[in-house]
Amino acid sequence: MQMLTKFESKSNRVKGIAFHPKRPWILASLHNGCIQLWDYRMGTLLERFDEHDGPVRGIAFHPTQPLFVSGGDDYKIKVWNYKTRKCLFTLNGHLDYVRTVFFHHEYPWILSASDDQTIRIWNWQSRNYIATLTGHNHYVMCAQFHPKEDLVVSASLDQTVRIWDISGLRKKNAAPSSMTFEDTLHRSQTAQTDIFANSDAIVKYVLEGHDRGVNWATFHPTLPLIVSAGDDRQIKIWRYSDNKAWEIDTCRGHFNNVSAALFHPRQELIISDAEDKTIRVWDMTKRTLVQTFRRELDRFWVLTAHPELNLFAAGHDNGLIVFKLERERPAYAVHQTSLFYIKDKILRVYEFTDATDMPVVSVRKIGGQYVNPRSLSYNPAERAIILTTPTDGGTYDLFHLPKDITGEPREASGDGKRGSGTSAIFTARNRFAVLDKTRQQIEIRDLTNIVTKAIKPPATVNEIFNAGSSNLLLLSTSTSVILYDIQQRQTVGEINTPPVKYVIWSADHSQVALLSKHTITIANKTLEQSCLIHETIRIKSGAWDDAGIFIYSTLNHIKYALSQGDNGIIRTLDQPVYLTKVKGKSVHCLDRDGKTRAISIDPTEYRFKLALIKRNYDEVLQIIRSSNLVGQAIIAYLQKKGYPEVALHFVRDDKTRFDLALECGNIEVALETAKKMDRDDCWNKLGVEALRQGNHQVVEMAYQRVKNYDRLSFLYLCTGNVEKLRKMLKIAELRNDNMSRFHNSLFLGDVEERVRLLKEVGQLPLAYLTAQSHGLIEEAESILAASGLTPEDITDLPTNGQLLKPPTPIIRQQDSNWPLLTVSRSFFDSAFANPESNPLAAPLAFSDAAEGIGEIGDWGEDDMGFGEEGEKTNDQQRLSGEALEEGSGWDIDADLGTQLDPRITEELANGSQEFVPPPSGTNESELWIHNSPLAADHIAAGSFETAMQLLNRQIGAVNFAPLKSHFLKTFQATRTYLPTNVSLPSLVYHVRRNPEETETRRVLPILANNFENIRSTQLPEAYKTTTLGKFQDAIVQFRTIIHSLLLVAVSKKPEVDKVCVRAY
Amino acid sequence: MTSLYKIPAEIYTGYNTGAFEVGKFSFAGTGISGSYQQVINEANSRTQVSEAAKLERKTYLYRAYIAQGKYNIVISEVKDSDAVELRTVKLLAVYLQAKAAGQLDSKREETLNELSELLKEPANSLNSTIQIISGTIYYHEGLLEDALKVLMKNNKNLECVALIIQIYLQMDRVDLAKRELAATKSWAEDAMLAQLIEAWVGLRTGGDKYQESYYIYEEIAQSPSSNTVKILNGQAVCHIHLGRYPEAEGLLLEALNKNNDDPETLVNLIVVSNLSGKSSDVVNRYTTQLKEASPNHPFLQDLDLKNSLFDRAAQKFVLA
């Protein structure tokens, strides 16, 4: 038996402790008056309650309400609400120190024991006391309710333990709803009068036997037994029946005052702690000492057991400890569809396939009564089992399973092969490895338990694990895990990790998860790390999913980890479980009672993420369609991980859709959403993105919507759209924006307009100059005339002026877009673009499918409506333009948009019925460049420049001339020409060196210089030339070979070595 | 439109409905596999057909001549009074002749204007012959989007689909090509052209599709009339992609025997010689041959481009 410390706190002397029944909390009341609330799982102090004056000795949680009670040396009993963190009220009445306080499990009662020699029962709902138990004639050190019956046990320094019957009190309080007002009144009066002689609580038995004061007494949870601990250094066990009570036995061994003692809730054990700085465990039936745990400095003052879990806590001079007495993890091993595990000292087999569970062998004799086997290794070939137990510093037992499993557990066949070792595992059909930790030796033994080999490990090893093959072992040291070859006695691989406690291999042995206390390291079979996951709470166990996802359990969660490091919570757990197998949607596990369970989980999230990572877009799509994976979290995830185009299809909110569409360059969707929202900032953003892609038609629309006249004019200038520029000029005139008019006429090269404008704004000299320099002599003269000057009056005219005439556009691109920037279109764009099969997303503009027209057609119609209106306003404008010479009073702003729109709407209307051509995809040459860092691959792709840069960087090449023929050779060997349609040029096909690959992110070009060729043809030839003595030729040949070796791509390491050998 | 194609001229059924019927002749099947002479012979032999069928037959006849590079026959025979289809075919002949002669610049504007005039007529824009011819010319001009626009209005015409898919492949949109192919397979399951399209797409996809593409070509090659240079090249390309160079070389040499200056055969021979480690002499011989046969072949243009690119790029690294 060992003490497994789960938590330790450092504080002032702890006089009282209480576990929360559900949460991982513990209350400690201190000698300095403070009450601390700890989370013992996280190891953090949650709260402090500082209201008592002087030491607080009694403390207890309410079993169900968010309450706790405390009693202190200030005679006060305080009831607290831990949610509001406030003391609700104080119960006054005791006349001396309060020693212990406890809640009743059912009634709203508090039981308190005090140095005033009384025990009191309080009602915390009515907040008054309802009974006083008198009879002790010294301090009452402890008083507790029976967990089920109407009994109270108390211990006092008067050397007695008393059992009280409180059934009268219960009867009085029963069915309070039926009580009349008079009854209540009467009761309350009697309670007052019966303080010293009440019949509600009577002494049933007085147990005498301790020679000194008794510090503690408590009931057994189920049996009619009491254990008491006293200053006589003894622990006494008492039995009681309906009519009598007697002492059964005494446990002697403590050599100072025993502070507390209690029954182990699940085993036949008694645990006690004392001022002799020990915690002792006793056998309840034999009354013998089982184990002593000693501390150097700390006297123990209090002891308690968790009401539900296998946990204990003891308070001492400098804090408290939370501990358990045994590992709750059952020893288990999984082999294919069978789970071998140990429950209650019986080896059982559970079949995952049909859920049968059979006991096989009793292992009672192994390891002693209180020690459970620690680990189990199964040998399927010989049906043998090795168990390791911690007894005597580590022992292993080897035995065979019976041939037939009858359902009755048998004794382990007595071949009794046993030895000492801390961990032992089968490595082969007839071999197992044993680690002797103290001697630091690994022994390989055969099934007759004879050592065949002894190995000195390369470092200090704590545990050994299987490594998938018969001659490999994983050795866990305190800083790393070593992959060790037993045959060659050498380290094959090593990975740095915190101390690893468990090792779990994936089914195909390609990946391994190394579990430490707070980290999981996932590595491949040569121990190359693929990810490291940190957890703040303890990791308990794990199992691999068939798809290569690691599912693991912590103290309170089942989580998943993808091998590239993504992890997340699948579900929460009330109690820790030990995962044994993951199959589809269910996780098989063992719980702490050693029961097999299957927990159903929802694998959608991690499958989705896995599919995304593996770029298995078909599956992603299927998951999107078949499940309701919607929500901010998933959108945020997709966006963060760089899949905005996928996220786009989860979003309905226009704003988010718009942002995502811009992020992935999907102009169609951006346009659609921008139209819906119709906000200036959106149009601006859209304009920027569309301009970046070269889609100037959308840019135009965006500028129109935000009435960005200057940019619009410039855009028309760029695209050579003279017609629109004229329109802009007209608009500028209507807007009375002279600067804009000037710009537009400048863009148009419209001199008359400029002269007119300058005249209008009174810049006559400029107007004259303009006219004069453009050869409009008449106009110039009329200006002069108008200003009353003659040409002679104009002197010192600048002579170096040049005519500014904008070039006539050669290509008018108003109808077609510029060549668009290639926006990588993911699988999803096309997948979602097919509206028939896509329930989620709105159809994109691309598609000749008639289904698509519905929505797009709507815009068309809308805008057509606009268009007509626009035309009307155009007419009106013409009329009013004539009527209103001044041009004022025309509300341009309101109608401008519609006036400008007809062209675009026309486009759109056509677009909806017509086919919108898709943009080009990525050429395979580009893929090659992306996919490979090798110069040769870049050459094959035709990107000589990058290839040279690579060679320059990698081998420092500067003189490329000798390589020219190799470059061209490599390049021209990569493209085949396939004749296709009649009278059309052939299609180019790219030859791959990995023809089995269909994933575009991994395709690589064929290389004309392959190693095999060089070795089998060129090299022998060169050798031959050498032997013939034609050294000049030979040098040329060898040089060619060395040059071509530069452009060889090899995939396997041995080949690399060979290449190197040849190269030198 | 359907009535037009319910003609007794069963020789074209395969072509018009997209269903290739065994034993019956079709341009789509025969023409596409490269047996142009067979098309010409067939078209000249039969007599008892309706007007519509006659027109179609003539169309194919002229297209076969064009495919053989005999532009002058077409240009001289087709008159302005002939049906619009034939005039369109003539347009193609004129265009391709100019292109072959390297005098395209003068004809380009003219041809494109004429085409857009033609297509303005709604009836013409749905006429598959005109669609195919316009698509072809646009393709030659690199106006892939225009070609797609014209061809998209097809009424389940397999040849239009074949063009569309070639355009998609040219645009590196294998995804779209696959989609189009899947849609096509639903109505043109076993037509030879449909199978060929599948092979084209398959060769771009890779993986198992290489082998599947090979089987398609192999099956087609088994019929003696289809064992043409074109199909042999297809088979050889499959072999190359699968890394089976000796087989590829054998087929290509066979193709070279049939037509010793087919540029594609020569290009593929260059590739396979390079890959199988043949000496540079062999490669150079084929390159010279190609230069003679088709001096403007894109392969050569590419090579020239890369040649100068190399010099330019290498210049940057020369130590001062």
Q: Which residue of A has its CA nearest to B244?
A: A995
Q: Are B84 and B124 in contact (CB under 8 A)?
A: yes
**Looking at residue A458, what is its pLDDT?**
87
For chain B, the first-to-last Cα distance in angstroms comes to 72
The torsion angle over the Cα atoms of residues A641, A643, A649 and A651, rounded to 10 degrees, is 40
CATH of domain A4-324: 2.130.10.10
**A992 strand-pairing partners:** A1005
CATH architecture assigned to A650-749+806-913? Alpha Horseshoe (1.25)
Cβ within 8 Å, pair B149-A915 = yes
Q: Decide the pairing of beta strands A451-455 and A480-485.
A: unpaired
Q: Alpha-carbon distance B212 to B218, whole Å?
A: 10
List b or e across A525-564, with b for residues whose CB sees 16 or more CB atoms inside 10 angstroms: bebeeebbbebebbbbbbbbbeeebbbbbbebbbbbbbbe
Q: Given an 8 Å threshold on Cβ–Cβ distance, is A977 in contact with B263?
A: yes
Is the CB of A972 less than 8 angstroms away from the CB of B271?
Answer: yes
**Chain A residues lying within 8 Å of B120, measured CB to CB:** none
User: In this complex, which of A944, A968, A976 lies closest to B237 when CB atoms are compared?
Assistant: A976
Distance from CA of A969 to the nearest CA of B (A): 7
Residue A239 near residue A246 (C-beta atoms within 8 A): yes
A734: closest CA among A866, A868, A889? A889
Amino acid at A734: L
Cβ atoms of A263 and A218 within 8 Å: the answer is yes
Task: State the Cα–Cα distance between residues A443 and A449, nearest whole angstrom.
Answer: 10
Q: Do B319 and A958 touch (CB under 8 A)?
A: yes
- CB B255, CB B263: distance < 8 Å: no
Integer angstrom CA distances of residue B219 from A134, A691, B223: 108, 50, 8
> Residue A400 pairs with which residues in a beta bridge?
A384
Considering the domain delimited by B228-320, tell me its CATH architecture. Alpha Horseshoe (1.25)
Using an 8 Å CB-CB cutoff, list chain B residues near A848.
Answer: 152
Q: 34-93 in B: which are within 8 Å (CB) of A?
A: 34, 63, 66-67, 92
What's the residue count for chain B?
A: 320
| Strands laid side by side in the A269-274 sheet | A258-263, A269-274, A278-283, A289-294
Could you write out the DSSP letters of every residue in A337-349? Answer: TEEEEEETTEEEE
Question: Please, are residues A592 and A576 in contact by the beta-carbon 8 Å criterion?
Answer: yes
Contact B271 A976 (CB under 8 A): yes
How far apart are the CA of B178 and the nearest CA of chain A, in angstroms?
A: 11
Chain A residues whose CB is inside 8 A of the B204 CB are 989
The 8-class DSSP code of residue A982 comes to T
pLDDT for B114: 83
Helices of type H across A541-601: none
Q: Which of residues 208-227 of B touch A (CB under 8 A)?
A: 208-210
Confidence check: pLDDT of B23 > 70: no
Residue with more model confidence, B3 or B318: B318
Which residue of chain B has the CA closest to A945?
Answer: B313
Nearest CA in chain A to B147: A917
Q: Scan residues 275-314 of B and list those with Cβ closer than 8 Å to A.
A: 275-277, 280, 283, 298-299, 302-303, 306-307, 309-311, 313-314
Query: Which chain A residues contact residue B313 at CB under 8 A?
Result: 944-945, 948, 960
- Looking at CA atoms only, how far is residue B318 from chain A in angstroms? 6
Which of chain B's residues have a Cβ under 8 Å away from the Cβ of A967?
306, 310
φ/ψ of residue A757, rounded to 5: -60, -45
pLDDT at A831: 54
Among the partner-chain residues B171, B275, B276, the one whose CB lies closest to the CB of A921 is B171
Question: How far is it, in rounded angstroms, from Cα A475 to Cα A462?
Answer: 7
CA-nearest residue of chain B to A927? B172
Residue located via tokens 């072959």: B100
Name which of A558, A559, A544 is nearest A591 in CA terms. A558
How far apart CA A337 and CA A583 sit, in angstroms, is 11
| Integer angstrom CA distances of residue A1053 from A405, A472, A936, A1041 | 50, 21, 18, 20
Separation of alpha carbons A829 and A833, rounded Å:
6
Two tokens, residue A803: 């005519």
Nearest to A151 by CA among A161, A139, A141, A136: A161
pTM above threshold 0.80: no
> In terms of CA atoms, which chain A residue is nearest residue B317?
A958
B112 part of contact set with chain A, CB < 8 Å = no
Chain A within 8 Å of B261 (Cβ-Cβ)?
no
Residue A139: predicted pLDDT:
93
Q: Do B145 and A983 touch (CB under 8 A)?
A: no
Output the DSSP codes for B170-214.
HTT-HHHHHHHHHHHHTT-TT-HHHHHHHHHHHHHH-THHHHHHH
Closest partner residue to B313 (CB to CB) among A917, A945, A988 is: A945
Distances in Å between the alpha carbon of B44 and those of A447, B57, B59, B225?
90, 9, 12, 17
A983 chain-B contacts, CB cut-off 8 A: 63, 66-67, 92, 96, 136
B138 or A774, higher pLDDT = B138
Look at A801 and B184; give whichever has higher pLDDT. Answer: B184
Residue A982 to residue B67, Cβ atoms within 8 A: yes
- Min Cα separation B81/chain A (Å): 25
Whether A973 and B274 lie within 8 Å, measured CB to CB: yes
Which ranges in B29-103 belong to alpha helices (H)?
32-33, 36-45, 51-68, 71-77, 84-101
Across the interface, whether the CB atoms of B271 and A921 are under 8 A apart is answered: no
pLDDT means over runs of 10, chain A (1064 residues): 86 93 91 92 89 92 92 92 91 92 91 93 88 91 92 93 88 57 51 52 90 93 93 93 90 92 90 93 89 90 90 93 87 87 86 85 74 85 85 82 73 72 85 87 85 86 84 86 85 88 87 90 87 87 87 88 83 86 86 85 80 75 67 70 71 77 79 82 84 82 83 83 83 84 83 83 82 79 78 69 70 67 58 44 35 36 38 41 37 39 41 60 81 82 82 78 81 84 82 80 79 74 80 80 73 52 47
For B227, the token pair is: 């064992």
Q: How many Cβ atoms sit within 10 Å of the Cβ of residue A781?
A: 15
Question: Strand A332-335 to strand A975-978: parallel, antiparallel, or no bridges (unpaired)?
Answer: unpaired
Residues β-bridged to residue A375: A388
Q: Please give, rounded to a whole number of angstroms, the shortest distance from the CA of A1056 to a CA of chain B.
A: 20
Tell me how close the Cα of A492 comes to any Cα of chain B, in angstroms. Answer: 35
Mutate to test the interface with B, among A920, A954, A983 (most CBs of B within 10 A): A983
Q: How far is A970 from chain B (nearest CA, A)?
A: 8
Angle at A848 between CA A847 and CA A854, to 5 degrees: 80
pLDDT at A911: 39
Q: Smallest Cβ distance to B306: which of A971, A983, A995?
A: A971
Cβ of A995 and B241 within 8 Å? Answer: yes
Q: Does B100 touch chain A (CB under 8 A)?
A: no
CA distance A46 to A487: 54
* Structure tokens, A718: 């760029």
CA distance A974 to chain B (A): 7
With cut-offs at 50, 70 and 90, classify the pLDDT of residue B312.
confident
For A923, the closest chain B residue by CA position comes to B172
**Does the CB of B320 have a partner CB in chain A at under 8 Å?**
no
- The type of residue at A474 is L
CATH of A506-614, one of 3.30.1490.150, 2.40.160.40, 2.60.90.10, 2.120.10.30: 2.120.10.30
Residue B203 to residue A830, Cβ atoms within 8 A: no
Q: Which is nearest to A436 in space by CA: A416, A474, A464? A: A464
Q: Could you tell me which chain B residue has the CA closest to the CA of A1012? A: B277
CA R_g for chain B: 21
CA gap A173, A288 in Å, rounded: 43
Three-point CA angle A501, A507, A510, nearest 5°:
80
In this structure, the number of other CB atoms found within 10 A of the CB of residue A495 comes to: 19
Q: Which of A100, A147, A138, A106 is nearest to A120 (CA)?
A: A100
